[in-house]
Chains A and B, each alone.
Chain A
Amino acid sequence: GAVVSQHPSRVICKSGTSVKIECRSLDFQATTMFWYRQFPKQSLMLMATSNEGSKATYEQGVEKDKFLINHASLTLSTLTVTSAHPEDSSFYICSGGGGSENYGYTFGSGTRLTVV
């Protein structure tokens, strides 16, 4: 079945530093990668949609200069949280979508970011 590998699973960083999260589709080509954020006991909120080879589309209220998304290939998308602040601490999840419906929009395992 389709697998999306997400790394790192946990990261702790200092305020002001940047953190990169990677998502790789291992056995399918993710022409589209979705990036979500989940706060404790809340739903998954879509942050942005990235399409291979083009600029990402950000949801309202998401700062594109803070959350840099790169989707340089059909199997790799990255999210970089720049100049991280404690309020950026959250659970970030990617999903490879746009392919066969049988994949059911496969999700990565998530990244727990803690900014101290």
Chain B
Amino acid sequence: DQQVKQNSPSLSVQEGRISILNCDYTNSMFDYFLWYKKYPAEGPTFLISISSIKDKNEDGRFTVFLNKSAKHLSLHIVPSQPGDSAVYFCAARGNAGNMLTFGGGTRLMVKP
């Protein structure tokens, strides 16, 4: 049973436009959410996170929105750049032991 889902396996966006990556979760005990960017054969790179007590966190071009009632979070990248092309994973912390549960990832392609 997937507790964290990223329903879009891929997303294509034009350079300069907004990229919106979505993530849904089922476990209401998750208290902390993170977004990672990953290139093939590399470890994930932390982008931005949000605590469950907040509904928005912004860092430069990256903004994460959390809708607890809908159990949904999204990552907005604006403006999108070709260098943003990668696989993006959302992750949630909760349950026992502070471990992270990852979504399946969304491949973002930003076209010049």
Residue ranges of A at the interface with B (Cβ–Cβ < 8 Å):
4, 6, 9, 32, 34, 36, 42-46, 49, 57, 91, 93, 95, 97-98, 101, 103-110, 112
Contacts and interface: CB of A to CB of B under 8 A. Distances in A.
Contacts of B103: 43
Nearest to A103: B46
Contacts of B105: 43
Given A43-B104, A101-B32, A104-B49, A6 B97 contact: no
Interface stretch (B13-21, B36-44, B66-74, B77-85): B36-44
Contacts of A4: 43
Contacts, number: 58
Interface residues of B, number: 23
B54 to A, nearest CB: 12
| Chain B, interface SS category | strand
Contact of B89 (A43, A103, A106, A108): A43
